[in-house]
Each structure stands twice: as C-alpha cells, then as structure tokens.
Amino acid sequence: MKMTRFEMIKQIRILAHMIKENLTTDHLTDLIFAQNEMERLIGQFHEEFPDLMTAGQFRAAKDNYDTFLNLVDAAYADEMEKPTKGNQP
C-alpha cells in the first residue's frame, strides 16, 4: 500500500526527531551512525518534497539539523491543516 504525502511527512518527522535524540550520545560509532541517518533523511525529504525544501534550505539543513527539524515540523503542521481525508493522526 502506497503511503500518502501526509504519512510520508509524518514518518520522516518521527524518524528525524528520533535520530536527533541519538545525536547526543557519547559513543562515537552511534554518533556517526545517527549523523549518516540524518543526512540520508534530509536527502530523502529534499528528493520527495522539492516543493517543501529549496536548494538553499537543503544546504542549511545539512549544516544545521535543527533547521531540518523546523522545516519538517512546519511541513507536518501545514499538512495537518489541509482539509483532506487521511490527514488525521
């Protein structure tokens, strides 16, 4: 079953926040893994939703993960406000 736009944004948002928590670890291997996963997620979001992330925002998100989290949170909030079926948590 194909996920809706809302479901995809929601999934990326959840994963991004989980990864962000893992970036506070003292274990180098876990930190590197979390950084790689965040980079992958930023790239995925940019590819799948070019209407939600400009090239400049993409570069900024790679430099500052909080920028990415803010973009994803804003996209999620915007999708929640749309009056379409399936956008309910």
pTM, two decimals, is 0.85
Q: What is the pLDDT of residues 42-66, one digit of tens each?
A: 999 999 999 999 999 999 999 999 9
Name 37's Cβ contacts closer than 8 Å, sequence gap at least 6.
15, 19, 22
Nearest to 27 by CA among 39, 16, 18, 35: 35
Distance CA(34)–CA(79), nearest Å, equals 27
Confidence bin at 30 (pLDDT 50/70/90): very high
